[in-house]
Amino acid sequence: MSVQVRITHNMMASSMLADVQRASSSMARTSEQISSGKRIDSPSDDPVGATRALVIQSSLSANDGYKAAAEATAGWTQTTEGALSSIVDIVQSTKELVVQANNDTLQPSDRQKLASKLSEMLEQVKATANARYGDQYVLSGERSDIPPYTAGASDTYGGDTGTVIRTIGPNQPVQINVTGDAVLGSGGGDGKLIDTLRTAIANLNGGTAADLANLRGPILANLATNLDTILTARAQVASASVRAELATDRIDDLKVTMTDQLSQVVDTDYAEAITKFSSQKTIYQAALQAGAQVIQPSLMDFLR
């Protein structure tokens, strides 16, 4: 009979010890949540919450990538827009110069001086077209490591016709570039701005009746067409710039919302945690008191 009593007390003592350990573990976990500020430290703490947190964190990471692309898009397109605006100003000045050159009172030497000015304007166009965002030439297509134009007599376009695409949001690709070849041309009779300027320079230096007629007619008409082409390209990149800025604002707003959602999932609710800890402490103390009552009779029985 005495052996059976001792086994019963051992079982009670083991049960008591397990209760104390569970209460102690619960207190320790809640205490850690209070001190760290995090409710979820591992998936086992809250499998559903941990999964939700991973989804939110993944979305935040993706949005960081979209924001970087949007900011790069804004920088690239603003650089392009600035370069094209400068070229628009040059074209306007060129038109004024060509009109001035059609004055019948001008001497050949006067027109040659105008030709020299026009040559300088052409070089300004090519230099401006070599605008860079960071270390990339914005008008060179996908060959952005190569300048689209070189100074001097050669007007050959050095880039390619490739499009540069950036993804600034889920399923939101945007073309950020226009190419120098499409906007300014590559000389050689293509009728675009650089070719128009080369022809105008030749007409001014030639000074024949046919040259002057060409300046009054086709050259001015081509300059008007060239200007429209540049303005259209500028509007295209300006639109991409606006989209990028809107995307950046939207991503910033989403980040605030999603960060708050993540906090609600993983961060400790201090009021709730403190109340929980107080309750766990009461349970722990009760388990200790119950254990003391079990151990004392067991020890007395053993000594008898």
Q: What is the pTM of this model?
A: 0.76
pLDDT above 80 for 25: no
For residue range 79-100, list pLDDT tens digits in order: 999 999 999 999 999 999 999 9
Cα–Cα dist 193/179, whole Å: 13
Q: Where are the domains of the chain?
A: 2-37+268-303, 57-262
pLDDT of 269 reads 52
Residue 137 has what pLDDT? 98
Using an 8 Å Cβ cutoff, are 102 and 200 in contact? no
Residues 188-212 have pLDDT tens digits of 899 999 999 999 999 999 989 999 9
Q: What average pLDDT score do residues 222-238 get?
A: 98
Q: pLDDT-based confidence at 48, cuts 50/70/90?
A: confident
* pLDDT recorded at residue 5: 46
Residue 221 has pLDDT above 70, yes or no: yes
Give the pLDDT band (50/70/90) at residue 1: very low
Task: Note the CATH number of domain 57-262.
Answer: 1.20.1330.10
What's the first-to-final CA gap in the chain, in angstroms? 13
For 44-56, what is the mean pLDDT? 84
